[in-house]
Every structure is written in C-alpha cells, then in structure tokens.
Amino acid sequence: MIAVALLLLISTVNALPEGAPTKACETLIPNHRGIPPQTGKAPYEITPIPQEDHVLVTVKSNLDFPIGGIILHARMPDGRIGGVFEPIEDDVHTITCDNPHDTITHNDPSPKPSVAVKWRPPSGYEGPIIFNSTVCQNFATCWVGIKSEPIQILAGGNIPNTIKTSTIRTSTSPHYTPQEETTRHIQFDSFYDGCDDTKKCFGAPDGCVATQNCKVVAAITVVSDRYQIELKSQSAKWAGLGLSTDATMGDDSVVECVNEGNGVKAYLSWTIPRPNLGVFRVANQEGIKLVNHSLIDDTLYCKVLRDAKTRVNNVDFDLINNKYHLLVAAGKRIKDKSVGFHDIDYLPSATSGYLSDTGKVVGASKLLVRLHGAFMLAAWIGTASVGTLLARYYRKTWVGKTICGKDLWFAWHRFFMICTWALTTVAFILIFVFLKGWSGETSNPHAILGCVVTALCFLQPIGAFFRPHPGTPKRAIFNWLHWLGGNAAHILAIVTIFFAVKLNKADLPEWFDYILAAFVAFHVVMHLVLSILGCASENSSNQRISSFPMKDMGGSGKISDHMVNVDAPYSWTRKLLLSIYVLVCGGFVIALIVVVVLAPKAS
C-alpha cells in the first residue's frame, strides 16, 4: 500500500511539469498518456472583467477545486487566437500559439486556488471574443474546452463595461465538440446591440437590421444635447445618412463617412434634386464631430456627433422638434470633394419620425419596381416568346380553323403580342412613376435599352395596322420590317433583363442570370428543333409550306390550291412541341417573377 501511495504521489507531482506544449494550441486536448478528458460539466469557470485598458481574466472553481495545470487563450469568431496576455502572478507564463504571448499556461503542477491574468485585444479589432481553456486538477483529471461569456470589443479596440450574449454559435476549435447540449452563443457584430430598443437603427436592404446583415446601416442615439450617428458599410468607400422632409433624394442634409485612403473622415453634405441629381459638401462643416472610426476587413465604420440644431446650405435642421425621413446610402467610389453613386445600396424610410424615437424603421416600398420587373418578364419571356413562335412555325397548323374570321395561329399571335404591348406599356410607366425621372445608375445600359425595346414594341402594332394587303408590291417590305422589328425587340428585351440583375434597386441575386440563361438555351433549342421539323415537313410533302414566314417575304400571295385547308406534315408533332414550350416557358416566367417579387438579395 505504501508503494502504491508513493507511485500515485510521484505521478501527481510530475504531472504537467512545465506547462502545456504548443502542439495543444489547436485542440486544447492534453496528451496525458492517452487518458481521456472528463465528459461531465467542468467545476471551473472563466470570468472576464473589463477594465479601463484591458480585461481581467480569472479562472477558478466555485467548489474550491485546485488548479494543477491550465492552458488559456482568446478566440475570435473565425477561430483565430488573438490578443496578448500579461501574467499577474508567478504561477503562469505566456507561450506562442499564433502570435507572441497569445496563450497562458502554468509554470508548475502545484495546486493553485485560481489563476488571474490581464488580456489586451488585437490592435484595431472590433467584435466578440470568447476565452477558452483546458483545466487539469491533476494529471488524470482534466476538463477540455471550458468557455467564458463572450465579451464585445468595440471599434478602435475599446473595451465595453458590459458583457453580452446572443445567438450565433462559436466553437473552441475545429476538433473540439462542446460537452454541453446547450451552449452559449455570441453576437458577431456589436453594432446592432440596442437597435430598436435603446437606439434608432435603419439599414439597407429593408429588414436587414433584424437579420444583422445590412450592406449599409445607421444607428442614432441621443447623447446629452447631441445626436450620435454611427455608420457602417462593407466594401464601401463611403456611407451616408441623409435627413429629408420627404422620401426622395434632393435638398437633404447628409452626414458622410468617407474612406479617403489616408484615413476616415466625416463631412456634412447637401443633395441636389433632379434633374441635376448629385451631392456636394457644404462650406460650413461646423455642427458635426468625428469621435471614432475604423476600417477593418474592408468594413467602414465611423461615429459622429451632430448638434441638435444646425444650419446646412441655408436651411435650418432642428433634430429635437422636427421629424425627418432617413436616407441611408453607400458606394464604392468617391470623387474630388464629393462621393460617387450609391452603387452598394440606397434606401429611404417609409415615414418620417423624430430621431430620438426608437423602434423599427421600415424602408420605403419598392412595389412599383417589383411590378415593373414582373410585367416585363411576363411580356418578353412569356407572351412575346410564344407569340413569335406561333408566327414563325404555325402558319400551316390548324388550317381552316378560325377565331372571329381570323386564322387560328394569327388570332393567338395577335392576342399574345397585344398582351406584350400592354404589359410593356404599364411596366414602362410604373418605373418612371417610381423614379420620378431618369435612372441614376448611368453606368448600366438597362434604362437606355429598355426605352429602345419599348419604342420598338410601340412601332410593331402601328406598322401592323397599316400593313399592305397580301399581293401588293409593298407587302414584302412590310414583312421584312415587321420580322426585323419583332426579333430585334425580343432579343434586346432579354439582353435588357440580363442588365437588370446588376441594378442596385432590383435587389436580384447573381444566380438570377443562370435562370435567364437556362431559358435562352431552351428557347434556342426549341427554335432549332422546329426549324428541322419544318425542313422535314417540306421535304415530305414536296411543297412550299408557310412554317417559315421569311420564305413568303416576296408577298405575292399566290398559294397552290392543294395547300389550302391542309395542315403541313408533322402537325401533331408541332402541336406537342408547342404545348411543351408553353408549359416550360410558363414555368420560367413564374420562377423569375417569384424571384423578382421576393428579392432574395434583400433578405
């Protein structure tokens, strides 16, 4: 028995003699001769206490269990180890896992009632930190992956005096599985703390504050007799918050946060209404003060104090007694003494309100934009595609059958093209009602091409109304012009839709292009199949059929008697292909309209 006791004593004394090795940095699992760690709840807790310029981190047991060995470091949400430790007592020292002094371990395995160290965040870091540790009571009894409550590091490396938790999961390492079924989660972005509760927040796209994924966001807090404005945007050269008496840009006071390359600056600006839409910085920059800023991982942030009462471009702004619409915007380009177009995002608030009021702020409706897109898709992917297919390949199908005295193919062709004209006209009007002028996204040709398509769409029915009678000399000219105008409008319309995906206001995802490309491929394949079928039909009957309107461009009007009231060969095959085309084309239209209406890029 004495010998056994001595062996146990020796093993305890020799356990963890010089601290954890660096090979334990990644997993925090001690290599104690294959002895597995404990699986139950750890009797130790890690407590981070924010101080003026550091965090005091204490590890101890509420059950007064001693600490024999320890390894402790701080992890960021992406799993990286960060910060610098400074021992307070002589029972621990620092080691290097990723960076010098980023991890703490014990000096010797003697029992310690607790371990207390100082920790300072990485330079310029903003976000959450969780402290992770493995604590060994002795050589054979260790608990792996003990976590602290998360602590938020603010912009500029400031340490808040409170600790917060939220609902995004983090892990100690890729190899560690938390031993508890219910674990603490952390919030990756402290900017949204207090939104709609203690501060007024508004971001774009609409609804992004709730999901914390805004492309540009502003937060307003009353601080004494001033208003604190925080702005944040990803991949931006500038972000701005405008105060407007209406929901449209023009004659508005704007606070800009600008990355000028040599630092982040804040300015007061003024927007110019249409038709000369733009922005300029006012001469008098009094009334605002930049108090904090950062540029981390391509994310622009600034905090500005604005006086409650300011005079901007000879207009008085009283933030206490007046209500204002909020305008948030961000862009990737800046000009000399100005900012570029808001090509990241732009959104006005639906209603005006006091800046001191908290609660959810809703963006102005984009219903007219959604309807514009839906109507154009229904017109040019749907009705125009079916209408042109009928005119090109179905003149000798359903021969002898009429509607209101018109051949069946022609009646349906006219119906679908009238629908195309009506949908295009309404969509064209809606977008101008929404914009109240020309599009500001001048680098994108969508607006110009859309106007060309609309003009061609108007000319087609006018030309058809004055078409010469079959057999007259000018009928051939009409046939060519009508064919050219219709095909040009259809092709340009689809190209225009592709450009719409890049529009900021459309909120369409990049994968929208793939659906459009799939439709184009299907459309081309169907035309190819019907063309081949037309050739086979012509060879089979040894007669000239009218499946190809281009072959009748001469306009003589002379048709052999044996062709009258006779369907061309393979009529049922063409009918089957038409049914397939209409069904698939309808499916594409529905899918595309659903994407436009739901605008998944905005969610």
Given a cut of 50, whether residue 427 has pLDDT beyond it is: yes
Specify the pLDDT at position 307: 94
Q: Which of the pair, 449 or 51, is modelled with greater confidence? A: 449
Helical axes 475-500 vs 367-377, angle rounded to 10°: 140
Q: Name residue 133's beta-bridge partners.
A: 72, 146
Confidence label for 89 from pLDDT (cuts 50, 70 and 90): confident
Q: Name residue 3's beta-bridge partners.
A: none
Specify the pLDDT at position 436: 73
46 with 147: CB under 8 angstroms? yes
Q: Closest Cα to residue 58, out of 162, 135, 110?
A: 135
Across the range 285-308, mean pLDDT stands at 89
Given a cut of 50, whether residue 162 has pLDDT beyond it is: no
Given a cut of 60, whether residue 168 has pLDDT beyond it is: no
Specify the pLDDT at position 440: 63
- Give SS3 for 307: strand
Percent of the chain residues past pLDDT 70, beyond the cut: 84
d(CA 444, CA 495): 12
Cα distances (Å, whole numbers) of residue 381 to 43, 387, 445, 592: 65, 11, 19, 9
Locate 472 and state its tokens: 């007259």
Strand duo 141-147 + 114-120: pairing: unpaired
pLDDT digit string, tens, across residues 303-342: 999 999 999 999 999 999 999 999 999 999 898 888 988 8
Structural domains of the chain sorted by starting position, each given as residue range(s) with its CATH number in brackets: 2-157 (2.60.40.4060), 191-348 (2.60.40.1210), 367-602 (1.20.120)
CB atoms within 10 A of CB 182: 6
Which one-letter DSSP state was computed for residue 333?
A: -
Locate 313 and state its tokens: 């471009």
Across the range 477-488, mean pLDDT stands at 81
Q: Closest Cα to residue 216, out of 208, 224, 228, 227?
A: 208
Locate 358 and state its tokens: 């908290």
Q: Which of the pair, 224 or 390, is modelled with greater confidence? A: 390
Q: What are phi and psi of 466, to 5 degrees?
A: -100, 20
d(CA 337, CA 544): 70
Which one-letter DSSP state was computed for residue 378?
A: I
* Tokens 């007046």, residue located: 322
Specify the pLDDT at position 180: 39
Burial class (CB in 10 A: 0-12, 13-18, 19+), 50: middle
Specify the pLDDT at position 2: 41
**How is 108-166 classified by DSSP, letter by letter?**
S-S-BSEEEEEEEPPTT--EEEEEEEEEEEETTEEEEEEEPPPEEEPGGG---SS---B
Specify the pLDDT at position 33: 63
d(CA 374, CA 559): 42
Given a cut of 90, whether residue 492 has pLDDT beyond it is: yes
Given a cut of 90, whether residue 486 has pLDDT beyond it is: no
Cα distances (Å, whole numbers) of residue 42 to 16, 170, 209, 278: 19, 18, 37, 61
Cα distances (Å, whole numbers) of residue 205 to 208, 217, 600: 6, 9, 10
pLDDT digit string, tens, across residues 240-270: 999 998 877 788 999 999 998 888 899 999 9
Mean pLDDT of the chain: 82
Percent of the chain residues past pLDDT 90, beyond the cut: 37
Given a cut of 90, whether residue 386 has pLDDT beyond it is: yes
Locate 575 and state its tokens: 């009918």
Specify the pLDDT at position 559: 45
575 with 397: CB under 8 angstroms? yes
d(CA 542, CA 536): 10
Locate 66 and state its tokens: 């001693």
Across the range 390-400, mean pLDDT stands at 87
Across the range 93-114, mean pLDDT stands at 90
Q: Name residue 256's beta-bridge partners.
A: 240, 267
502 with 512: CB under 8 angstroms? no
Specify the pLDDT at position 155: 59
pLDDT digit string, tens, across residues 538-549: 777 654 444 444
Confidence label for 125 from pLDDT (cuts 50, 70 and 90): confident
Specify the pLDDT at position 543: 47
Question: What is the residue type of 238?
Answer: W
Question: Which of 296-305, 436-445, 555-564 is the most confident on average?
Answer: 296-305
CA 316 to chain centroid: 36
Cα distances (Å, whole numbers) of residue 123 to 70, 82, 96, 127: 26, 10, 17, 12
172 with 75: CB under 8 angstroms? yes
* Reduced DSSP (H G I as helix, E B as strand, rest coil) percent helix, strand, coil of the chain, to 5: 30, 30, 40
Length of the chain: 603
Across the range 459-465, mean pLDDT stands at 80
